[in-house]
Amino acid sequence: MTADADQADLWAYRSAYETPADFDAFWRDTLDSAAVHPLDLRLTPVGTRLLTVDVFDVTFNGFGGHPVRGWLRVPRHRSGPLPAVVQFHGYASGRGHPLDDLLWPSAGYAHLLMDTRGQGGAWAGGDTPDPVGSGASYPGFMTRGITAKETYFYRRVFTDAVRAVEAVRAVDLVDPALVSVVGASQGGGIALAAAGLVPDLRAVHLQAPLLCDIRRAIRSTTDGPYVEISGYLATHRGAVENVFETLAYFDGIAFAQRATAPAWFSTGLMDQVCPPSTAFAAYHAYAGRKEIRAWEFNGHEAGGSLDLEIALDAFHSALSAAP
């Protein structure tokens, strides 16, 4: 267990993060700019040997009208509109293979897995380029465009996530009133942003979310994506306040304060990538009904499949047709 992870301290901990005064205006303008571009949703059936799941190659227009890819997987034997789960994947990964990630459609949900632009060179391949360049950055994605909120990488990613929710709601076989978002690590951070930007989601599941209580996280960990920011600041010594001014517009705490859908959080108390205090900071700030599970002897995997079991049980009632 890390020094960050004393459970009594975690329940008492509240972040010192402060939301910028123009946070809501910034995101309203960002999403309005994206809405100018037609969604242009395209679904192409993918042939597989699966007997119980149909797979579609998905493309829709995200930030700047840039095409974003994904997979839509749905139970083959279905009747009537389906509840939907939009999933965002972990850092540096991509949407992977059509046969990956069959949990949610196997449980009866329409499942949209969104590619993260520019990523997909790590453990699962991706197919969505990021056509926007950036200034100097540390290797990875965390510092791309970090000198201004308008150019920061995650402005585009979070906008893509909102458009992914719009995309799944535009699918004929989906009930647009029964949509949830899920993710682990980076995917959890993206899902939390979507929950704060989309007001009428039905449920949220967040495993060890990245991009929460960012200033503390950078100073509390020596592993994972946050190291890219500390590495950047080690050579750009005069940029510290400018960088944290930018990151304030992308901190999960601000999105948590604006999210109202029922949410299930998890964290591993030995997590060296996303310190458990940062997950608790977002949990404490979350405005909707919420639960959190802290796994005492787990790291960044948090509860793994047991977290997913909890989510399946919770979503069964949260995504029912009843209001």
How high is the pLDDT of residue 166? 98
Share of the chain above pLDDT 90, in %: 89
Q: What's the pLDDT tens digit per position in 275-310?
A: 999 999 999 999 999 999 999 999 999 999 999 999
Q: Which of 217, 220, 213, 212 is nearest to 191 (CA)?
A: 212
72: left (phi over 0), alpha (psi -120 to 50) or beta: beta
Report the predicted TM-score, pTM, of the whole model to 2 decimal places. Answer: 0.96
How high is the pLDDT of residue 320? 85
Average pLDDT, the chain: 95
pLDDT band at 135 (very low <50, low <70, confident <90, very high): confident
How high is the pLDDT of residue 23? 98
Q: Which of 198, 311, 225 is nearest to 265 (CA)?
A: 311
The active-site residue, picked from 66, 89, 284, 300, is 300
Beta partners for residue 70, in sequence order? 58, 114
Distance in angstroms (rounded) separating the CA atoms of residues 216 and 13: 12
Share of the chain above pLDDT 70, in %: 97
Residue 5 has pLDDT above 70, yes or no: no
Under 8 Å between Cβ of 277 and 220:
yes
Question: Would you state the structure tokens that stand for residue 13, as one six-digit string?
Answer: 């901990």
Question: Would you state the structure tokens that stand for residue 195, as one six-digit string?
Answer: 């929950």
Residue 322 has pLDDT above 60, yes or no: no
148: left (phi over 0), alpha (psi -120 to 50) or beta: beta
Instruction: Pick the more confident residue, 134 or 266.
Output: 266
Question: Would you state the structure tokens that stand for residue 150, as one six-digit string?
Answer: 């308008």
Half-sphere exposure of 155 (CA within 13 A, CB side): 26
The active-site residue, picked from 101, 115, 213, 271, is 271
The separation between CA 9 and the C-alpha centre of its own chain, rounded to angstroms, equals: 26
Under 8 Å between Cβ of 218 and 273:
no
Instruction: Pick the more confident residue, 89 or 123.
Output: 89
One-letter amino acid of 112: L
How high is the pLDDT of residue 323? 55
How high is the pLDDT of residue 1? 42
Half-sphere exposure of 47 (CA within 13 A, CB side): 0
**Three-state DSSP string of 47-105:** CCCCCCEEEEEEEEECHHHCEEEEEEEEECCCCCCEEEEEEECCCCCCCCCCCCCCHHH
Q: Which CATH class is domain 3-315?
A: alpha beta
> Active site includes 185?
yes
Q: What's the pLDDT tens digit per position in 24-72?
A: 999 999 999 999 999 999 999 999 999 999 999 999 999 999 999 999 9
Q: What's the pLDDT tens digit per position in 76-119?
A: 999 899 999 999 999 999 999 999 999 999 999 999 999 999 99
Burial 99-109 (b: 16+ CB within 10 A, else e): eebebbbebbb
Q: Is 91 annotated as a binding residue?
A: yes
> Active site includes 300?
yes
DSSP SS3 for 148 = coil
Cα separation values, 229 from 119, 177, 179, 234, Å: 17, 38, 33, 9
The active-site residue, picked from 185, 220, 266, 277, is 185
pLDDT band at 217 (very low <50, low <70, confident <90, very high): very high
276, containing H or E segment: helix 276-285
Q: Euclidean distance between the first and final Cα of the chain, in Å?
A: 41
Residue 230 has pLDDT above 50, yes or no: yes
Please compute the mean of the pLDDT values over residues 229-253 and round it to a whole number.
97
Residue 227 has pLDDT above 80, yes or no: yes
DSSP SS3 for 280 = helix
How high is the pLDDT of residue 7? 81
- Rg value, the chain, Cα: 19
Please give the full DSSP string across 4-62, using - where no structure is assigned. GG-HHHHHH--------TTHHHHHHHHHHHHHTS----EEEEE--S-SSEEEEEEEEE-
